[in-house]
């Protein structure tokens, strides 16, 4: 009989993730000026293009990602 496979590693819950930066959806620049409430973007500003519409930002990579 085959040995059972192990389940994949679980990701941290979103509220425990440390976000290094957001990506601006207008100019694709990493932005480091932002506020989060758990996994929700509350405030963000892109210093390159001036975008401050939080719906146009995406979460960047996780801090300490070891998948690389």
Residue 60: the pLDDT is 79
**Number of independent structural domains in the chain:** 1
pLDDT, one tens digit for every residue, the chain (68 residues): 555 676 655 555 544 568 899 999 999 999 999 999 988 999 999 999 999 999 999 997 654 444 44
Residue 53: the pLDDT is 96
Residue 2 domain-assigned (yes or no): no
19: DSSP letter: B
Residue 67: the pLDDT is 47
Residue 39 domain-assigned (yes or no): yes
∠ CA 41-33-62 to the nearest 5 degrees? 65
Residue 4 domain-assigned (yes or no): no
Residue 29 domain-assigned (yes or no): yes
List Cα–Cα distances, 32 to 11, 20, 22, 28, 40, in angstroms.
23, 7, 7, 13, 15
Residue 46 domain-assigned (yes or no): yes
Residue 26 domain-assigned (yes or no): yes
Residue 25 domain-assigned (yes or no): yes
Residue 63: the pLDDT is 45
| Segments forming the whole domain that contains residue 23 | 16-59
Residue 18: the pLDDT is 83
């Amino acid at each position: 009989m085959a040995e059972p496979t192990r389940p994949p590693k679980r990701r941290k819950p979103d509220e425990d993730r440390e976000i290094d930066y957001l990506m601006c959806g207008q100019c694709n620049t990493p932005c480091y000026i932002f506020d989060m409430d758990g996994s929700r973007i509350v405030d963000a500003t892109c210093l390159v293009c001036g975008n401050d519409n939080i719906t146009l930002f995406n979460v960047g990579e996780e801090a300490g990602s070891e998948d690389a």
